[in-house]
Amino acid sequence: MDEMQALIDKIQTWNREYYTLDNPSVTDAEYDAAYDRLRKLEEETGTVLPGSPTGQVGGELLDHFERHTHVFPLFSLDKRQNKEGLQAWVERAERVVDGLRETETLPPLAFTTEYKFDGLTINLTYDNGELIQAATRGTGTVGEAILPQVRTILSIPKRIAYTGFMEVQAEALMKLSTLAHYNATHDEPLKNARNAAAGALRNLDTRITRARRLIAYCYAVQGEDLPFSSQTELFAFLESNGFPVFPYRKRVTDFSSLWEEIEKIRAARNTLDILTDGVVIKVDDLQTREHMGHTDKFPRGAVAYKFEAEIVETELEDVIWSVGRTGKVTPTAVLSPVDIGGVTVQRATLNNYEDIERKGLALGATVHLRRSNDVIPEILGTVEDGANTRPIEKLTHCPSCHSELVQDGVHQFCLNSLSCEPQLVARMTHFASKSAMDVAGLSEKTAALLLKEKDLHDVADLYTLHTEDLLALSGFKEKKAKNLFDAIQASKGRPLSQFLVALGIPGVGVRTARDLAAHYHTLDALKDAGEEALTEIPDIGTITAKEIRTFFTDEQIAESLQKLEALGVVPKAQEEAADRPLEGLTIVLTGSLQMKRRELEEALVKRGASVTGSVSKNTDFVIAGENAGSKLTRAQELGIPVFHEEKVPALLAGERLV
């Protein structure tokens, strides 16, 4: 047992050096040898000691997330986006503290500055020196329990010296270098580091979480009788207990010094291997902060300063055109490589040819490029044309199959849906996507391979494949072929809502598909529905109703649906829930919500509510998250009740609110 404990202590130290300090003291071979020795001892003795790293990486597949109520509330932060706004916040804090000094003995006012990370907030619960729970922030009151997922983050300690009860807040992140390596070695690339971290921790399969190799930085602690009295001491406490803490933080006593630190962070942020989008400023003394109190949503003793989007100049070298699932042809700008936000950018999306004309773009012109954190770069317009610019010609034929293009509104379309390869690949990839038929392993690369080597021309053809057919594909071995075959077969009985998403009906996304499935229950009933009947469903207007009718009366679609049915693809009929406490309510969601919007919508619909995308006189109430915009304004104009996200648990418990 002594040798096992010594190995655990040693490996935990090495994990901290590697994942937190980025300064490993041993080679991979030495680490692996110690890890393998520990596993061997555990197998021989049948004992796994608490805190063993062999039990931290998880292999279990969970079937759902449990709800977890935080002991202490997790507030979000109010935001400032310019120097004047931040200075006003500091001056207000000074006035409030001066007022408090009339009745309280408080130290001189000081502030701490920290990087604002752009990942997923997690709440870690410790008791008796053990990590006993981990959860997402959720509503700030209730989150989702994700302890098995968090155990895969090797930098988070599972045992600590402090034995009191406390909750530690941290930000889970994926390093940009880790993201680049992952995308270079996997068929399906991850979109960005923020989504990669959030998706990993909210994945029921902890093997996927582990493969993302997440890190975390801790920055807050809540509990009773904690052994520190300031933010500065809080960080020292975290470090002394082995928690991963970002190396930068400063303590300042006036606005001039505070702004100087913000400028330093602004200059340094693009050199980091993680996403940051601002600075967090906190009153250093915790007693002062507590006396300052909080609003319903924000503590008054802390604020987030958000960086503005960066704008640079570069040359527009070329425009390339791509064909999507629906046949829409979209232009992409090819740029002279330029560094923006710590990333070298060479591409930017252009919406359509009208967008090109409106911005006055030409090949060889210098353009303004804007990028906000890891958002796709956007060309704002032309700085100067220059002497050697060339006009961007509007396409007349498909760049892939060379069929003549058709103009529909501001967009151009290729109508050759039967043999235009990019359309076929995109359609098959969409059909197999997670929100649709959820065929694991059918990536864009695999779809292209199936078209090329198996001559598939319709999604129904997927269900004609056998393991032997897949084994014959380039790069496929027995396990990969069997896994894909099993995934295809397992998708035959998906719920009707997912099947409707998979079909790719114009104007029908996840929400509308769910509403249609809840209303009609079976595919046959939906196929028979007329336009007028369809418009009776909230959020389905005449245009979408017409698109649905046109889709189901198309001969090619009808033939494909018949073929799917003959091959055993029968979508599961939508069951009517027995308990529908929110029956008849029309609800609108707006702003940034802590609970995944899709999951919240599905939960509300399951309880009988109708969730729509726009506010009207028929809306019963609005649930507003952070940064709510025009929908909130419209609700206020119409006198429609607005509730903050804190009301969601009561709503899901069946309380109608109005």
All domains of the chain, ordered by start, with CATH?
2-54 (1.10.287.610), 79-306 (3.30.470.30), 310-412 (2.40.50.140), 421-493 (1.10.150.20), 496-566 (1.10.150.20), 586-652 (3.40.50.10190)
Task: Please tell me the predicted confidence (pLDDT) of residue 237.
Answer: 97
Q: How confident is the model at residue 253 (pLDDT cuts 50, 70, 90)?
A: very high
pLDDT-based confidence at 41, cuts 50/70/90?
confident
- 3-state secondary structure (DSSP) of residue 158: coil
Mean pLDDT lowest among 305-319, 434-448, 570-584:
570-584
**CB–CB of 72/167 below 8 Å?**
yes
The pLDDT tens digits for 565-596 are: 999 999 987 665 557 788 888 899 888 777 77
Q: What percent of the chain has pLDDT over 90?
A: 48
Name the pLDDT band for 357 (thresholds 50, 70, 90): very high
Mean pLDDT of the region 365-379: 79
User: How high is the pLDDT of residue 367?
Assistant: 92
pLDDT digits (tens, 9 = 90+) for 97-134: 999 999 989 999 999 999 999 889 999 999 999 999 99
Statement: residue 142 has pLDDT above 80 = yes
Query: What pLDDT was estimated at residue 59?
Result: 35
C-beta of residue 314 within 8 angstroms of C-beta of residue 366: yes
Asked whether residue 60 carries a pLDDT value surpassing 50, the answer given is no
Average of per-residue pLDDT across 460-479? 92
In the predicted structure, residue 209 carries a pLDDT above the cut 60: yes
What is the predicted pLDDT for the residue at 163?
93
Residue 311's pLDDT is what? 84
Is the pLDDT assigned to residue 438 strictly greater than 70?
Answer: yes
Provide the pLDDT for residue 304: 94
State the DSSP code for 647: G
Q: How far is residue 90's CA from residue 96's CA, in Å, rounded to a whole number?
A: 10
Instruction: Report the pLDDT value the prediction gives residue 499, as an integer from 0 to 100.
Output: 94
pLDDT tens digits, one per residue of 328-355: 999 999 999 988 766 788 999 888 999 9
Instruction: Kindly indicate the confidence band of residue 403, based on its pLDDT and cuts at 50, 70 and 90.
Output: very high
Taking only the tens place, the pLDDT of each residue in 187-204 is 677 878 888 898 899 888
Query: Which residues are marked as active site?
Result: 116
| Percent above pLDDT 70 for the chain | 93
pLDDT for the residue 581:
86
Q: What is the pLDDT of residue 16?
A: 67
171 — pLDDT class (breaks 50, 70, 90): very high
pLDDT of residue 54: 64
Averaged pLDDT, 633-657:
85
From 113, 374, 463, 131, select the one nearest 254 (Cα to Cα).
Answer: 113
Which pLDDT band holds residue 57 (cuts at 50, 70, 90)?
very low
For the beta carbon of residue 37, count every other beta carbon within 10 angstroms.
14
- Could you tell me if 656 and 641 are in contact, meaning their C-beta atoms sit under 8 angstroms apart? no
Banded pLDDT at 373 (limits 50, 70, 90): low
- pLDDT tens sequence across 264-307: 999 898 889 998 889 999 999 999 999 999 876 789 999 999 88
Angle (CA) 399 403 407, round 5° = 85
The pLDDT of residue 56: 42
Does residue 20 register a pLDDT over 60? no
Q: Is the pLDDT of residue 534 over 50?
A: yes
CA 137 to each of CA 14, 67, 127, 220: distance values in angstroms, whole numbers, following the listed order: 29, 11, 19, 13
- The pLDDT of residue 298: 84
Rounded alpha-carbon distances, angstroms, from residue 167 to 126, 224, 280, 327, 571: 6, 10, 19, 51, 44
Whether the per-residue pLDDT at 251 is higher than 80: the answer is: yes
Q: What is the 3-state secondary structure (H, E, C) of 116-146?
A: EECCEEEEEEEECCEEEEEEECCCCCEEEEC
Give pLDDT, residue 577: 53
Q: How distant, in Å, are the alpha carbons of 107, 247, 370 from that of 274?
A: 35, 13, 20
Residue-averaged pLDDT of the chain: 87
Residue 14 per-residue DSSP state: H
Q: pTM value? A: 0.56
HEC profile for 223-263?
ECCCCCCEHHHHHHHHHHCCCCCCCCCEEECCHHHHHHHHH
Answer whether 158's CB lies under 8 Å from 130's CB: yes
Residue type, 643: F
3-state DSSP call for residue 456?
A: coil
Judge whether residue 484 has pLDDT over 50: yes
